[in-house]
A and B are shown apart, each in its own frame.
Chain A
């Protein structure tokens, strides 16, 4: 066995890779609950790709056959219902995990120097994930798939000068139809997963270059032992491999409970309107996006002007990119030592949650004032952070981590 390993190592840096990324890569020893979600995101990615491949074996990307092929999977394919439910649950759980993963970044200042690029790559992953979800949602070709497809390609159409042409490129036709399904399948099954795989690799490479942040926001590489390793660090393997396996266990229990007992989550994960086939002549009473895009939809609806609304949506999605340069607290990164920043993050989270709820309701004039209120709070976070972070009271930051 060790002979085989030596043979491989002479030709491929296997042992070197394992050492550098796992057994001799040191991570802070004080990772808490918020640090599970990176590895869980990777797990969900793998789950989606595997279930996606097996769904692709049966899916038919034509306007007349798509809906029927999904029902074929649910009724006729052996265990098809299981694979499909895992895929739809996985889509929603991907966003739950990613939002919690991003929230960790907000809480502990993981976007601060020298991790700006790590953060930006992460945000590009988030944008790709939203695109992936959108393309995938159109494929079953239920009535919500159809009209959701229409709405988003119309938003693309609002881009100045090239918008109409881009929308036609996206649809492949004058309206949503078979050409749209064919190319969306190419994007959903090949293009975006490929991009995501590359981006995730880059994300991990960037992480390993700087080392991970931690709940105290201090740099463990500032205090090295005589062996050159961080005093507050522990090798990723076996400590975090073992801890992440436990995290996977807990995650799979929750995940399986949903897949087996509440796969549609009462219309939240699989919307009831998608149980009727696409009908170009009949729009559902409310065309709302899936829950994970709902906050942005609420923001869009809060602005009465079409172009300004789309601009607001764009700015809302893009604002977090600038976070590394907006947060200027010179002394601390983590909310543990910044009570005012903690309040700001809480307000941001509450705003997103409320906006998300609003985004899932039918359009109503009664909802406009709260939507606008929380929209202001959302943008307020980013606009005020540069100023507040300079002057906020900061508790003394320790030298060494706190378990």
Chain B
């Protein structure tokens, strides 16, 4: 009885904690398989739509061959687009920060670690959330990143939507295809922020299995040695 009273007191003391809630825009969760084909497609789409402005300096081009199994041809043709691109160097755009700041107000950030910093849900939702806003210099705004300096480079694909989500102009692909494309790009950004995930997923089961075998042996040894202790 006394124990219950105590617990009740503790819970009462902690109750106000429940009132502290998280606030912010609702984020959508992407549902892609984090595998090599998905990431390769994401890399291709990234090179097509984002790679004029955003660097991925931590990712060296040759990594796409070894990590992702991308063919040398696809790599040269679809990915190594900026001038001066070299296999063993990082993915760097040629836009100079000074020019970029002049044109956009702020230089487009390097996106190598963006997925770590923002989280995968944020990035996916961001890519899906541009809308027409005549009050902005670019003519566009974003639900997840208000007053963003980035223009809606995805408009040709997605089309143009109003703030309430209604369609102003249709895009070149269907909403389902666009959604999938944005998921691919998100997967690529997730890979870029932590390429080790592919390796970890592949060696993980072996490491754990080995340790389980070791622990079972160690336990049997312990039991055998402790047999005569009472």
Chain A in direct contact with chain B (Cβ < 8 angstroms)? yes
User: B229 within 8 Å of A by Cβ?
Assistant: yes
Partner of A245, one of B116, B193, B199, B221: B221
**Secondary structure dominating the interface of B:** helix
Contact A239 B6 (CB under 8 A): no
Interface set, chain A 324-348, CB cutoff 8 A to B: 343, 347
**Contact assessment for A71 and B17 in the assembled complex, using a CB-CB cutoff below 8 Å:** no
Q: Which of A29, A246, A354, A374 contacts B221 (CB 8 A)?
A: A246
Chain A residues with Cβ under 8 A from B208's Cβ?
253, 256-257, 260
A369 CB-CB contact with B under 8 Å: yes
Asked whether, in the complex, the Cβ of B229 is within 8 Å of the Cβ of A239, the reply is yes
Cβ-neighbour of A347 out of B6, B113, B119, B204 (below 8 A):
B6
Q: How far is the CA of A358 from the CA of B193 in the complex (A)?
A: 30
User: Chain A: interface secondary structure?
Assistant: helix
Closest residue of chain B to A346, judged by CB?
B6
Q: Count residues of chain B with CB under 8 A from any CB of chain A.
A: 40
Contacts of A264 in B (CB 8 A): 116
CB distance from A33 to the nearest CB of B (A): 14
Q: Give the nearest-CB partner of B225 in chain A.
A: A242
| Interchain CB contact under 8 A, B222 and A243 | yes
Residues 230-244 (chain A) with a chain B CB within 8 angstroms: 234, 238-239, 242-243
Binary per-residue interface labels of chain A (233-275) against chain B in the complex, 1 for a CB within 8 Å, 0 otherwise: 0100011001101101110110011001100100000001101
- Closest partner residue, chain B, to A350 (CB atom): B10
Asked if A252 and B116 make an inter-chain contact with CB atoms under 8 angstroms apart, the answer reads no
The chain A residue sitting closest to B199, CB to CB, is A81
Cross-chain contact B218 with A74 (CB below 8 angstroms): no
**CA distance in complex: A250, B218 (Å):** 10
Query: Is B31's beta carbon under 8 Å from chain A?
Result: no
Q: Does chain A have a CB within 8 A of B108?
A: no
Given the known interface contacts A75-B59, A249-B214, A276-B117, the answer about A367 and B229 at a Cβ–Cβ threshold of 8 Å is no
Given contacts A239-B226, A243-B222, A261-B200, contact A374 B211 (CB under 8 A): no
Cα–Cα distance between A361 and B204 once the two chains are bound (Å): 32
Select one of A82, A276, A343 contacting B3, CB under 8 A: A343
Please state if A260 and B203 are interface contacts (CB–CB under 8 Å).
yes
Complex: A250 Cα to B113 Cα, angstroms: 33
Say if the beta carbon of A162 comes within 8 Å of chain B: no
Q: Give chain B interface residues in 131-157, CB to chain A under 8 Å.
A: none
| Complex Cα–Cα for A76 and B194 (A) | 12
Interface check B36, CB cutoff 8 A: no
Q: A71-B58, A253-B208, A256-B208 are in contact. Are A364 and B13 (CB under 8 A)?
A: no
* Nearest opposing residue in chain A for B12, CB measure: A373
- By a CB distance below 8 angstroms, the chain A residues around B13 are 354, 370, 373-374, 377
The answer to whether B222 touches A242 (Cβ under 8 A) is yes
With known contacts A370-B14, A403-B230, A361–B20 Cβ distance under 8 A: yes
A363 shortest CB reach to chain B, Å: 11
- Cα distance, A366 to B69, chains bound together (Å): 52
Known: A238-B225, A261-B204, A354-B17. A253 touches B58 (CB 8 A): no
Instruction: Check: B55 CB closer than 8 A to any chain A CB.
Output: no
Q: Are B211 and A246 in contact (CB under 8 A)?
A: no
Report if B16 contacts A (CB, 8 A): yes
CB distance from A256 to the nearest CB of B (A): 5
Is A357 interfacial (CB 8 A cutoff)? yes
Residue in chain B with minimal CB distance to A68: B58
Q: How far is the CA of A354 from the CA of B17 in the complex (A)?
A: 9
Q: Is the CB of A29 within 8 A of B229?
A: yes
List B183-230 residues whose CB lies under 8 Å from chain A. Answer: 193-196, 199-200, 203-204, 207-208, 211-212, 214-215, 218-219, 221-222, 225-226, 229-230
CA distance A357 to B20 in the complex (A): 12
Please state if B196 and A81 are interface contacts (CB–CB under 8 Å): yes
Q: Interface centre among A238, A243, A246, A373, by most B CB within 10 Å?
A: A246
Give the nearest-CB partner of A354 in chain B: B14
Give the chain B neighbours of A76 by CB distance below 8 A: 60
Complex Cα spacing A319 to B19, Å: 31
**B175 CB, nearest partner CB in chain A, Å:** 30
Q: How far is the CA of A276 from the CA of B115 in the complex (A)?
A: 11
Q: Which of B17, B59, B119, B211 is close to A256, meaning CB atoms less than 8 Å apart?
A: B211
Q: How far is the CB of B73 from chain A (nearest CB, A)?
A: 25
Select which of A81, A239, A370 is within 8 A of B16 by beta carbon: A370
The residues of A that contact B194 with a CB separation of less than 8 Å are 74, 81
Q: How far is the CA of A243 from the CA of B116 in the complex (A)?
A: 40
Q: Are B17 and A243 in contact (CB under 8 A)?
A: no
For the complex, what is the distance from the CA of A264 to the CA of B19, rounded to whole Å? 27
Closest CB-CB distance, A147 to chain B, in whole Å?
15
Check A275 against B116 for contact (C-beta < 8 Å). yes
B112 interfacial by beta-carbon distance below 8 Å: yes
- Knowing A343-B6, A374-B13, say if A366 contacts B204 (CB, 8 Å): no
Known: A81-B196, A242-B222, A260-B204. A357 touches B17 (CB 8 A): yes
Instruction: Determine how close the nearest CB of chain B comes to the CB of A397; give it in whole angstroms.
Output: 21
B196 lies within 8 A of A82 (CB): yes
A212 CA to B16 CA, complexed, in Å:
42
Given A256-B211, A357-B17, 16 further pairs, Cβ under 8 A: A71-B58, A74-B58, A81-B199, A234-B229, A239-B226, A242-B221, A246-B218, A249-B219, A252-B214, A253-B208, A253-B215, A260-B204, A276-B113, A366-B19, A369-B16, A370-B17
Name the 5 nearest CB pairs between A and B, nearest first: A249-B215, A81-B196, A246-B218, A373-B13, A275-B117
Residues of B within 8 A of A (CB): 3, 6, 10, 13-17, 19-20, 58-60, 112-113, 116-117, 119, 193-196, 199-200, 203-204, 207-208, 211-212, 214-215, 218-219, 221-222, 225-226, 229-230
